[in-house]
Amino acid sequence: LPSTDDIVDYLSIKESFPKWLVEYLLDHFGEEKTKEILEQSNQPAANSIRMTVKEADFEKIKKALKKDDFEFEESSLTAHNLNLNRGGVAQTDLFKSGKITIQDAAASLAVDAFDFRGDEQVLDACSAPGGKTVQIAENLITGSVVALDIHENKLKLVQNAAKRLHVSDKVKTKSLDARKAKDYFAAGQFDKILVDAPCSGLGLIRRKPEIRYEKSLSDIKNLAKIQLSILENVKDLLSTGGELVYSTCTISYEEDEGVIKQFLKLHPDFELLPVQVGKLPKQEMVRIFPSDDGSDGFFIAKLKKRG
């Protein structure tokens, strides 16, 4: 290994990360956190499932998993996620009957950030493969969710997930670029909007190791522009008093806090609401590192449209 005198060089070689990314993480999160993030990003991702049943039935699910020879640990992020000791859960009856679904704990917190009553009209602006769409639908009684995705073929995944989790009656899909949503929907049509924005995926490196070599700082800056543009194009579709949750599976400042701060500066009719999700303390905006719980790196911010 190179000498530890040059920390960037040392970590870049030790953890197989490009120098620019090591530098970026050091600048933003300091040496300890950076070492943790790099190390954890080289570990396999947790086999995380979300229990889709009422909390009262969690114990039944755990018993059934044990019967199917799965061991698990409870997620340190949410009460409804378990980290299994192995894969293969998609072959079980529990999965096929929709009592559990494969979903990262950090990702599941984005939907938990909403305050649902159950009768809302919801827009999931970038929905495929549909993990968050079905989670929204589970929270609705008389409401419904419209799932958009730019790729028509990916909406099949959303429909299949909705079917398996028995929420098809609450999910409508539409092939549309979220940046054109305002040409298609009416102003104020939705009580809640989720923008789970396309991003650099720096929180997903353990699942997609190639990301580290495919992304650059200019990509991050370009993505931040796309993310802001999506927010710009859906904001008018939110009703007064409505909630907008913005989430990404990255940990870059530009795509996370940067986008939110810029958006709030441009739109004083929106305010930032503190977020309390899962087992985490209430905070202004939520950042989960890949080194927390073996989950994906993730960011969540919640906005409200003022009256």
Q: Between 217-234 and 257-266, two packed helices, what is the crossing angle to 10 degrees?
A: 40
DSSP tag of 16: T
Half-sphere exposure of 246 (CA within 13 A, CB side): 31
| Residue 302, CA distances (Å) to 223, 260, 286 in order | 20, 9, 9
Taking alpha carbons only, the member of 229, 200, 203, 199 closest to residue 215 is 200
Residues belonging to the active site? 249
Which amino acid is present at 34? Answer: T
Q: Cβ distance 48 to 36 under 8 Å?
A: no
For tokens 């995705």, the residue is 149
- C-alpha span between 251 and 202 (Å, rounded): 6
3-state secondary structure of 154: helix
| Whether 233 contacts 181, CB under 8 Å | yes
